[in-house]
Amino acid sequence: LSYLIKEIEVGKIGNDFDIADKITASNFKQIQTGEFNSEIESAPEINSPKPNEVNFEESVKEKLSKIVDDINLAYNKQFDFDVVTKSALQVRNILLKDTKLKDSAKSNSINDFRFAYFDAVEDALVEGYEQNQDFFSILLNDGERNKQLMGVFLEDIYNNLKTVI
């Protein structure tokens, strides 16, 4: 160490000193102090759960089924009815938590509420988009089907939000 200190000139300013080839390390010995055993097991299979069946009134189920069939036909997709309705219910739940929409329901008629509702649907779709990217992208890009599908929940959300204290 004293040899190293002599090589570094204290009076110099900056980093322009070179200690390469001036230090040697010898007589090092590695000693094993322990052993690490990983308890992680490889599990390459992923079991994706299938959603439980969603129960609706028969008239609502028929409306939703027709809309899902139309979307599948128009976009050459095979969306499962239960998966799609779960996604739509996810949007419904996002809408039910929207405070601006809640205020709009309390202070407007259903006809006036309709404007705020469909604006909030766009925001709710964007919020839920990551989890349901494929289906939500269709709803975001096809305003007509978006309004058809989400229109099914308009009165339900309006009535729920209007009565919330």
Which ranges of the chain have pLDDT less than 70?
1-23, 43-44, 46-55, 130-131, 165
With contact defined as beta carbons under 8 Å apart, do 145 and 74 qualify?
yes
| pLDDT for the residue 116 | 93
With contact defined as beta carbons under 8 Å apart, do 91 and 133 qualify?
no
| pLDDT for the residue 120 | 93
Distance CA(35)–CA(27), nearest Å, equals 24
| pLDDT for the residue 113 | 93
| pLDDT for the residue 20 | 65
Distance CA(160)–CA(147), nearest Å, equals 19
With contact defined as beta carbons under 8 Å apart, do 116 and 150 qualify?
no
With contact defined as beta carbons under 8 Å apart, do 82 and 52 qualify?
yes
| pLDDT for the residue 135 | 82
By CB neighbour count within 10 A (0-12 exposed, 13-18 middle, 19+ buried), where does 148 fall? middle
pTM (two decimals): 0.51
